[in-house]
Amino acid sequence: MEKFAQQIVNGLSQGSIYALIALGYTMVYGIVKLINFAHGDIYMIGAYVGFAVTTFTRFGHSRFGFIAALVIAMVACAVLGVCIERIAYKPLRNSSRIAVLITAIGVSLFLDYTLMYFVGAGTRSYPPGVLSDRSFTVGGVVIKYQQVIVVLVSIALMILLQFIVKKTKQGKAMRAVSFDKEAAQLMGINVDRTISFTFLLGSALAGAAGVMVGIYFNSIDPLMGMMPGLKAFVAAVFGGIGSIPGAMVGGLSIGVIETLVAGYGGSLYRDAAVFAILILVLIIKPTGLMGKSTGSKV
C-alpha cells in the first residue's frame, strides 16, 4: 500500500502539469475547433524562459527565484501565444481544417529548431536552490516540497482560470463564442479579441507548466515539448475536448496512470499505456469523460 500511495503522490504532481497544458488545448479547441500542436512547444519556451530568469538575472546579490520565473515565463508565453495566433492562425480562420493543422505542425517545428539554433541541442539544468529539494514522510510515503508546490500552484491556476471563464465579462464572451461564433458577433462580441485572449490564457498556463517541470525534473531541452504536449492532448481528449473540468480530470488521470505503470515494472511501456488509453476512449466514448456530443444539421 505504501508503494501504491507513493505512486499516487508522484502521479498527482505529474498529472497536474499535464492538466495545465491540456487546458490550453481544450480552450482553443472549444473556441476555434483547432488542435494547436504548437502548444507543447510554448510549454518548452516557458521552461527556457524560467531557466534564463533563474540563471542570468539578479536582484542585488541574489538570483531571481521561483515566483519571478513563473510570472515572467507566463507573461512571455502569453505574448508568444497571441503572436502565433495573429500571425499563423488568424489568416487561415476560414480555410480548411487540414490547412490549419499543417500550419500548427509547422509552427511547432519552427519553434523547436529555432530555439535549438540559438541555445544548442544539449540539456540544461536549473540552478540549485530555486525550490527546496527537502522532503517529509507521511505514513511511509515520501513527499517532496517541490511536489507540494507544483500541485498547489497548479490548483491555484486552475481555480483562477475557472473564475475568469465563469465570472468575468471576457470569460462570458469566450463561452458565447464557443457556443455560437456568428451569434456572438451579432451581439457585439469582438470574436478576434476573444480568440486572442483564449490563446493568451492557454499559453500562460503552458508557460507555468514549463517552469515547474524544469525545476521538478531539473532537465530541459529544445525537444522537451513534443511528448508532454501529446500526452496533454490525450488528457484533453480523455476528459472531453472542449471541457475545462474534463482537461483537469484527464491530466490528473493520465499522470497517475503513467506513474502506476512505470512504478510496477512497466517503465518501458508508460508512453504506450497513455496512447492505448486514448484509443480505448475514442472507441468506447469518443466525446471523453465530460465531453458532450453535439448533433449537426444537414
Return the C-alpha cell found at 253: 488521470
How far is it, in rounded angstroms, from Cα 206 to Cα 74? 8
Quick check: 173 pLDDT over 90?
Answer: yes
Higher pLDDT pick, 57 / 63 = 57
pLDDT at 294: 56
Average pLDDT score, the chain: 88
For residue 154, give Cα distances in angstroms to 76, 79, 128, 137, 248: 18, 20, 22, 22, 10
For residue 149, give Cα distances in angstroms to 10, 17, 190, 201: 13, 12, 37, 21
Around Cβ 77, how many Cβ atoms within 10 Å?
31
Return the C-alpha cell found at 293: 456530443
Contacts for 113-116 with beta carbons within 8 Å, 24 or more apart? 113/222, 115/44, 115/45, 115/48, 115/222, 116/222, 116/223
Quick check: 62 pLDDT over 70?
Answer: no
Residue 176, CB-side half-sphere exposure with 13 Å CA sphere: 19
Query: DSSP letters of 2-50?
Result: HHHHHHHHHHHHHHHHHHHHHHHHHHHHHHH----TTHHHHHHHHHHHH
Q: Report the first-to-last Cα separation within the chain, whole angstroms.
A: 54
Reference 206, options 55, 25, 6; nearest CA is: 25
Domain assignments of the chain as residue spans, ordered by start: 20-224
The average pLDDT across 262-281 equals 83
How far is it, in rounded angstroms, from Cα 12 to Cα 53? 27
Assess contact for 34 and 177: CB atoms under 8 A.
Answer: no
Assess contact for 70 and 157: CB atoms under 8 A.
Answer: no
Lowest mean pLDDT, pick from 136-140, 275-279, 289-293: 289-293
134-147 tens-digit pLDDT: 888 887 888 889 89
The average pLDDT across 208-233 equals 91
SS3 291: coil
Reference 172, options 158, 190, 199, 157; nearest CA is: 190
Reference 214, options 156, 274, 118, 150; nearest CA is: 150
How far is it, in rounded angstroms, from Cα 46 to Cα 30? 23
By percentage, how much of the chain surpasses pLDDT 90?
A: 46
SS3 206: helix
Q: For the whole prediction, is pTM greater than 0.75? A: yes
Lowest mean pLDDT, pick from 50-54, 180-184, 224-228, 242-246: 242-246
pLDDT at 297: 44
